[in-house]
Structure 1
Amino acid sequence: MKILIIQQKMVGDVLTSSILFEALRKKYPEAELHYLIYPHTKPVVENNPFIDKVIEYAPKIGKDPVKFLKFLNFIRGESYSEIIDIYSKISSGIIASYSGASIRLGFQKNYTRPFYTQTFTYKENPETHAGLAVENRMQVLKGLDQDFPKELKPKIYISSEEKKVFRNKLQKQGVDLDHPVIMCGVLGSSSMKSYPGNYMSCLLDELINQVPTAQILFNYLPWQTAEAQNIYNHCQSATQSRIFLDIYENSLKGFILNAANCDLYFGNEGGAANIMKALELPTFSIHSPIVKKNYWAIYEDDEKHVSVHLEDFQPHLFTSCPPKFSKQKNAALYQKLNPELIKLKLNEFLKNLEI
């Protein structure tokens, strides 16, 4: 048995889909398990004991017919017996179909059905506290056997030596690890997934008001530096004194190791929050109105892992709207999620952690 799992796209997607390898390894200990992902997401699956091989697929390959055909031939040459295409787009469907695998599993979409031997419909309501992002992935394994768990927790594997190196580095940069260290996702992966900057500044002020000894590290993408600086500039001086703006890791691996030395995560929901959960650290996340909370609210318990969505406070805004309404209204909806709505839940979260 030789299985390829395809999961292109973002860090959070790749991390979450990695749970399939643990389930497959326990069920089929002798199977050879490969993972096809974008190169920049590789650090979240490094050292994963359940993955035999990572195949890096650069997005530019799919845009070059010659390179794409060469890649397709490479995949066919691997002689996979099963393909599990979690991405389930046209490009990945072509890869699955061309592979020659006798079993090809994917999600049901208008344009992908011909690529697979069996498809699965996205669930709308979660059955467990794992959330839909986990449950939808796990259900695809039923194409191999009905006896798989409904959920598993994503995990990141780092060595104690790696963690210690970055711990020492943080101390040299002035961080006092005897006091709480908070990783703050001040910006999401795009403006559509970023809580308004002025609101974020207000919540950072509230965070320091509640935990004056806290030390804050900012996480954002390299091209978002100016926006991150603007959020910092709008914070109160007391808050600014607790933000280590100069501490920033350009690499995903560096971020993971910095995060591993933090006490909790606060900020926009996304890959950073998922990484912190995989490191078994507390998280408080703010969802974009455009994203359904029950999809990415992974393993939330209202204590260690908490998140907020505008729908929590104003559900009427989401009852009679077409699925894509918020793409046009997202900014306006974000404005309705003002800091005062979030503060109470944030303060309860901090109190429960006793930091």
Structure 2
Amino acid sequence: MKILVIQQKMIGDVLTSSILFEALRQKYPNAHLDYLINTHTHPVVENNPFIDNFIFFTQIEENSKRKLFQFAKYIGTKNYDMVIDVYSKISSNIITLYSKAKTKISYYKPYSAFIYNHNIKRLSSTELDCGLAIVNRMQLLEPLNIEFKAIKPQIYLTDKELANSKLFLESHNISLKKPLYMISVLGSGATKTYPFEYMAQVIDQVAETTKGQILFNYIPNQEKDAKAIYDLCKPKTQNLIHFQVFGKSLREFLAITSHCNAIIGNEGGAINMAKALNVKTFAIFSPWIDKATWNIFEELGKNESVHLKDFKAELYSKKSEKELKPKANELYIAFKPHFFREKLNLFLEQTL
């Protein structure tokens, strides 16, 4: 049996959807399991023992309808028995349509329902600690009679990667015998980035409470913004920040993060990756994002998060993400660091 799982776009989505492979492998131990993803997301699922092969969806297919259809026809030559389309957008609809698979599963959408044998309606809430992102993905396996299991995403680092990252940190005068914190200083965009001044206050609190060594998570083209946040921190906090120490690749970032006591800051891919490395996390959610979907595997003292809605529920009165996103800036301004100062301090004490 050959099975294809499709999850394009974001790193966090690709990592979270990788849980399906563990469940599929348990059900079909001899099946050939392929994962169709965007090239840049591969590092978070590299070495996953449940995945046999990766198929990459590139910018070429992304930017050309002709190339997309050629790619879809290529998938049709692979003779898949089953396609599980987690992405569920136009491009993956087309790929699934051309796949020739007998069993096609995706989320229900009126315009694409005819393509799939099984159209699963997403749940809008759950009481399970694993979070909606996990629950809704596992729902896709129900037509295969695979019972729900709260599988946690995992990232698989090699011994060599761990050893090299340790040497790298030590070469920059960072002691692994002392507390070490990664700060997710920037989100994936302005609407997912806690205001710089507020973030500096959070970093000051981390420094004051832990006296720990601090790393910033950023990529070279974000250095200007990261430096702006650094400049807003107190001088004694700046003395604890190793600003120029960061991973040059995503795998390097993962290996460095694995040595940290915790990661703190903007909710997003970095937080989800840290969870998959079993590193403690404290996430600050963008005020327009639905926390219930992405606060996966919340656990007091281990994986915690805060959202403006926790403190100012009256601002939300039945408004959708689409309605809230244009107001992200004013909502962020209302999301004062002092709202969660005590909660963050209690969390930091658990990391020492």
TM-score (norm 2): 0.97
> After the TM superposition, which residues 203-218 of structure 1 pair with which residues of structure 2 at under 5 Å, given as runs?
203-212=202-211, 214-218=212-216
8 Å contact from structure 1 (residues 62, 68) kept in 2 = yes
Can you list the C-alpha shifts for 1:285-327, whole angstroms capped at 9, x where unaligned? 0000111111000100122110000011111111232442211
**1:50 corresponding residue in structure 2:** 50
Write the distance in 2 (CA, Å) between the matches of 1:139 and 1:221.
Answer: 35
Q: Match for 1:292: what amino acid?
A: D
> After the TM superposition, which residues 82-161 of structure 1 pair with which residues of structure 2 at under 5 Å, given as runs?
82-145=82-145, 147-161=146-160
Write the distance in 1 (CA, Å) between the matches of 2:299 and 2:65.
Answer: 47
Write the distance in 1 (CA, Å) between the matches of 2:318 and 2:134.
Answer: 27
**1:3 corresponding residue in structure 2:** 3
Residue 245 of structure 1 and its aligned partner are, at CA, apart by: 0.6
Q: Match for 2:61: what amino acid?
A: I
8 Å contact from structure 1 (residues 34, 55) kept in 2 = yes
Residue 110 of structure 1 and its aligned partner are, at CA, apart by: 3.2
**1:175 corresponding residue in structure 2:** 174
CA distance 1:319–1:150, change in 2 (3 Å): farther
Can you list the C-alpha shifts for 1:52-104, whole angstroms capped at 9, x where unaligned? 00111113313223322321121011100100000000110110011010111
Write the distance in 2 (CA, Å) between the matches of 1:19 and 1:192.
Answer: 28
Write the distance in 1 (CA, Å) between the matches of 2:226 and 2:321.
Answer: 31
**SS of residue paired to 1:253:** helix
Q: Note the residue ranges of structure 2 that are not aligned, 5 or more in a row.
A: none
**SS of residue paired to 2:322:** coil
**SS of residue paired to 2:139:** helix
**1:194 corresponding residue in structure 2:** 193
Write the distance in 2 (CA, Å) between the matches of 1:321 and 1:32.
Answer: 43
8 Å contact from structure 2 (residues 283, 305) kept in 1 = yes
Can you list the C-alpha shifts for 1:314-355, whole angstroms capped at 9, x where unaligned? 1111123244221111110011111101211100101223x1
**2:327 corresponding residue in structure 1:** 329
Query: Does 1:71 pair with 2:71?
Result: yes
Q: Match for 2:306: what amino acid?
A: V
**SS of residue paired to 2:88:** coil
Count of residue pairs brought into register by the alignment: 352
**SS of residue paired to 2:122:** coil
**2:21 corresponding residue in structure 1:** 21
CA distance 1:227–1:77, change in 2 (3 Å): same
Relative to structure 2, which stretch is displaced further, 192-201 or 154-163?
Answer: 154-163
Q: Match for 2:175: what amino acid?
A: D
Relative to structure 2, which stretch is displaced further, 59-68 or 97-106?
Answer: 59-68
Write the distance in 1 (CA, Å) between the matches of 2:31 and 2:170.
Answer: 43
Write the distance in 2 (CA, Å) between the matches of 1:127 and 1:7.
Answer: 25
Q: Match for 1:133: what amino acid?
A: A
Write the distance in 1 (CA, Å) between the matches of 2:348 and 2:246.
Answer: 24
8 Å contact from structure 2 (residues 184, 216) kept in 1 = yes
**1:244 corresponding residue in structure 2:** 242
Q: Match for 2:198: what amino acid?
A: Y
8 Å contact from structure 2 (residues 103, 117) kept in 1 = yes
8 Å contact from structure 1 (residues 85, 96) kept in 2 = yes
Write the distance in 2 (CA, Å) between the matches of 1:23 and 1:240.
Answer: 45
Write the distance in 2 (CA, Å) between the matches of 1:244 and 1:348.
Answer: 24
**2:273 corresponding residue in structure 1:** 275
CA distance 1:322–1:56, change in 2 (3 Å): closer
Can you list the C-alpha shifts for 1:13-57, whole angstroms capped at 9, x where unaligned? 000000000000011101110000000110111111000001111
Residue 215 of structure 1 and its aligned partner are, at CA, apart by: 0.9
Write the distance in 1 (CA, Å) between the matches of 2:347 and 2:328.
Answer: 26
**1:30 corresponding residue in structure 2:** 30
Write the distance in 1 (CA, Å) between the matches of 2:119 and 2:4.
Answer: 16
- Aligned identity (percent) is 43
CA RMSD between the two structures: 1.2
TM-score (norm 1): 0.97
8 Å contact from structure 1 (residues 189, 221) kept in 2 = no
Can you list the C-alpha shifts for 1:223-276, whole angstroms capped at 9, x where unaligned? 221110000000000110111111122311111111112121101111100111
**1:185 corresponding residue in structure 2:** 184
Write the distance in 1 (CA, Å) between the matches of 2:320 and 2:13.
Answer: 25
8 Å contact from structure 1 (residues 201, 235) kept in 2 = yes
Can you list the C-alpha shifts for 1:163-216, whole angstroms capped at 9, x where unaligned? 01110111001111111111110000011111001000011111111011x111
**1:291 corresponding residue in structure 2:** 289
Write the distance in 2 (CA, Å) between the matches of 1:14 and 1:203.
Answer: 29
8 Å contact from structure 2 (residues 290, 321) kept in 1 = no
Write the distance in 1 (CA, Å) between the matches of 2:184 and 2:65.
Answer: 38
Can you list the C-alpha shifts for 1:142-163, whole angstroms capped at 9, x where unaligned? 1211x32242000011122210
Q: Match for 1:228: what amino acid?
A: A
